[in-house]
Structures are given as structure tokens and as C-alpha cells.
Copies of this chain bind each other. A is one copy, B any other.
Amino acid sequence: MSRLDSFIRRLEAQRSCLGDAARRTQKLNGVALELGLGNGRTFDHLREICAGREIYVFDRQVAAHPDCIPAPDRLFLGDFTATLNEARQRLGDGAAALIHVDLGSGDAAASIALAARLAPEIAALMTAGAVVISDQPIGHASLVALPLPEGVRPGRYFMAEKQA
């Protein structure tokens, strides 16, 4: 499989998981969190599929398309550990119904380690029934893995639900 094929599959898997998470959390109150704005494509997609839900975005710096930059009061800029802690204070634990985590940096080991380090903060921000979609496994006692949507290869994306 070429890198073009593989990239298309990853984007399709991402869209499929985001759609599944949006449906699962439709009746849940809470905000949506996007960890890793990047070029802003998934933020734009979240705006569409989570219409009506406030979306907060976390990244080290803003490098997105001008149309896909969140309002300043919806943006947490800086190191993820620091900004997730800030969000816990500002929004409160259990504030989020849906979290999308896109940490992939090309350095697989570093991405996995970062996800493990952030897992407690991510779990704390989720309300019962909230769903986290991630490009890395997010391991936490309060999270239970969800089956992936049809067509998504295990390991390509991860989904988990916060227990009550």
C-alpha cells in the first residue's frame, strides 16, 4: 500500500471515528475538546458534526488555515500538560462530552509516551458517557475501549468511553 493509500485510509478512519463519537454523545451535555489543531481540518469537521457544542482547542502554536482558527477564548496555547490543567480549572472536571486527540508527530514512541502522560488529565475532563477518539491509545482505569466503526483497522485509531 502506498503512502497515498495509507494516508487516505487514515483520514477516512478519522472521519468515521469522529462521526461515530458524535452520534454516541449526541444526547450528552458538555463541550468538545480538540487536542492538536494542526492545519485545522478536523476542527472544521467537528464544527460541522458537533454543531451547537462549544469546541475548545489545544495546541503548542497556531499553524492552521485562517478559516480554521478558533476564537481566542476557545484556544489553549502551550504545553498540553499545562493547558489541560488550565482547562480543568476553567471548564471543570467532567466538562467534555467528546475529545479528539491527534498527537502523532512522526516519532511513534514519543507520541505514545505523551498520550500516556496526558491520559489522567483527559479522563478527568470527560463526563460519564463521554467518548475520546485518539490516534494513540489513551489508557486509564475509568476508560473502556469502544469497538471501532466498520472499515477502521484496529490500531489505526482508538475510541474509549468514560465510565459512570
Does any Cβ of B come within 8 Å of A2's Cβ? yes
On chain A, the number of residues with a Cβ less than 8 Å from chain B's Cβ atoms is 22
List which A11-60 residues lie within 8 A (CB) of chain B.
11-12, 14-15, 39-42, 44-45, 47-49
Does any Cβ of B come within 8 Å of A90's Cβ? no
Contact A44–B12 (Cβ < 8 Å): no
Using Cβ atoms and an 8 Å threshold, which residues of chain B touch A3?
Answer: 39-41, 44-45, 65, 67-68
Does any Cβ of B come within 8 Å of A8's Cβ? yes
Using Cβ atoms and an 8 Å threshold, which residues of chain B touch A44?
Answer: 2-4
| Identical copies in the complex | 2
In the complex formed, the residue of B with least CB distance to A106 is B65
Contact A11–B7 (Cβ < 8 Å): yes
User: Most chain-B CB neighbours within 10 Å: which of A2, A8, A40, A47?
Assistant: A2
Does any Cβ of B come within 8 Å of A5's Cβ? yes
Residue in contact with A4 in the complex, picked from B7, B42, B67, CB distance below 8 Å:
B42
A125 CB, min distance to chain B CBs, angstroms: 23
Contact B11–A45 (Cβ < 8 Å): no
Residues of A within 8 A of B (CB): 2-5, 7-8, 11-12, 14-15, 39-42, 44-45, 47-49, 65, 67-68
Having A2-B45, A3-B39, A4-B14, one finds 20 other A-B pairs with CB under 8 Å, namely A2-B44, A2-B47, A2-B49, A3-B45, A3-B65, A3-B67, A3-B68, A4-B11, A4-B15, A4-B41, A4-B42, A4-B45, A5-B15, A5-B45, A7-B11, A7-B41, A8-B8, A8-B11, A8-B12, A8-B15
